[in-house]
């Protein structure tokens, strides 16, 4: 049986929600992967990192947020604050010692929120197509007034997605996310090494978002890596090699 065919373990939260996860023991710093909006831990980046960490003997955790993948809960009930709290809980309860957080798209926003909540646990951050504050420019701003009025009335709407399953857009998600905006802040008090990889061909999240985030970070050890022909998913073979090489450099620098 492949190590990726095993059934996930379950972490039960205080409200009864169960988060599905896979945890691999190994040496520290450990690696915690945070997936994107509507993504799950069976995606190519999550499983590539799992395999790579296994080969290195590195501790690794991947999990599904509530309403995603194999976890319980309704996707439409999710918010940035809720998913960020879940990421912090996974960090607290499923990992030990210093961790390098790897966040993809929305996961990079949650990665930053987690680092702000638990600075003492963070050995480094690696963001892919960093979608900080995406609920504004990627969701709300792209709705015309007719769809905005429908969303206000119905609270939840479904929109086509270029990545397969339709996007489920909840008004609560957009409204609650305003409490967690990071681009409005003068500075982000994150002091460890940070790497931000972004495709210049990303039609969802502009690559300049990663530059803006980099400028707000307190750490002097911040690098933005631009992939000229890279798209949002950063899932091609060469993108995955860049991901593992960059992660290896972060881990080897500890």
Q: What is the tens place of the pLDDT at every residue in 65-95?
A: 999 999 999 999 999 999 999 999 999 999 9
Does position 108 have pLDDT exceeding 90, yes or no?
Answer: yes
Average pLDDT on 162-175 reads: 87
Assign 4 a pLDDT band (cuts: 50, 70, 90).
low
Q: What is the pLDDT of residue 160?
A: 82
Buried-state track 26-57, b at ≥16 Cβ within 10 A, e below 16 = eebbbbbbbbbbbbbbebebbbbbbbbbeebe
SS3 sequence, 45-94?
HHHHHHHHHHHHCEEEEEECCCCCCCCCCCHHHCCHHHHHHHHHHHHHHH
pLDDT at 150: 96
Cα separation, 246 vs 249, in Å, equals 5
- Each residue of 242-253: pLDDT tens digit? 999 999 999 998
- Position 167 scores a pLDDT of 81
Q: Who contacts 23 (Cβ-Cβ below 8 Å, separation ≥6)?
A: 9, 60, 61, 94
Which residues are part of the catalytic machinery?
Answer: 105, 202, 232
Q: What torsion do the CA atoms of 131, 133, 136, 139 make, to the nearest 10 degrees? A: 30
**Residue 254 pLDDT:** 57
- For residue 147, pLDDT over 50 is answered with yes
Whole-number pLDDT of residue 159: 85
pLDDT at 166: 82
Q: Is the pTM of this model over 0.85?
A: yes
- Classify domain 9-132+186-248 at the CATH topology level: Rossmann fold (3.40.50)
Strand 222-227 relative to strand 194-199, pairing: parallel
- 62 phi and psi angles, rounded to 5 deg: -130, 150
* pLDDT for position 5: 58
Q: Determine the distance from the C-alpha atom of residue 1 to the mean position of all C-alpha atoms in its chain, rounded to a whole number.
A: 28
């Amino acid at each position: 049986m492949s190590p990726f065919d095993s059934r996930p373990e379950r972490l039960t939260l205080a409200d009864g929600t169960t988060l599905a996860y896979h945890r691999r023991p190994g040496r520290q710093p450990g690696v915690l992967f945070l997936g994107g909006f509507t993504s799950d831990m069976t995606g190519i980046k999550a499983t590539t990192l799992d395999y790579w960490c296994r080969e290195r003997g590195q501790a690794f955790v991947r999990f599904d947020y509530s309403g995603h993948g194999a976890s319980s809960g309704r996707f439409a009930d999710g918010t940035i604050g809720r998913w960020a709290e879940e990421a912090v809980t996974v960090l607290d309860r499923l990992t030990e010692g210093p961790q390098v957080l790897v966040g993809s798209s929305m996961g990079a926003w949650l990665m930053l929120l987690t680092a702000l909540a638990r600075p003492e646990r963070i050995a480094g951050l690696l963001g892919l197509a960093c979608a900080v504050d995406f609920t504004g420019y990627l969701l709300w701003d792209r709705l015309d007034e007719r769809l905005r009025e429908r969303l206000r009335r119905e609270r939840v709407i479904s929109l086509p997605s270029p990545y397969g399953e339709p996007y489920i857009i909840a008004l609560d998600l957009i409204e609650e996310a305003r409490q967690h905006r990071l681009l409005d802040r003068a500075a982000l008090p994150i002091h460890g090494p940070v790497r931000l990889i972004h495709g210049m061909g990303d039609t969802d999240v502009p690559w300049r978002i990663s530059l803006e985030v980099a400028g707000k970070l307190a750490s002097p050890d911040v690098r933005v890596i631009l992939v000229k022909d890279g798209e949002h998913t950063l899932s091609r073979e060469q993108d995955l090699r860049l991901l593992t090489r960059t992660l290896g450099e972060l881990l080897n620098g500890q």
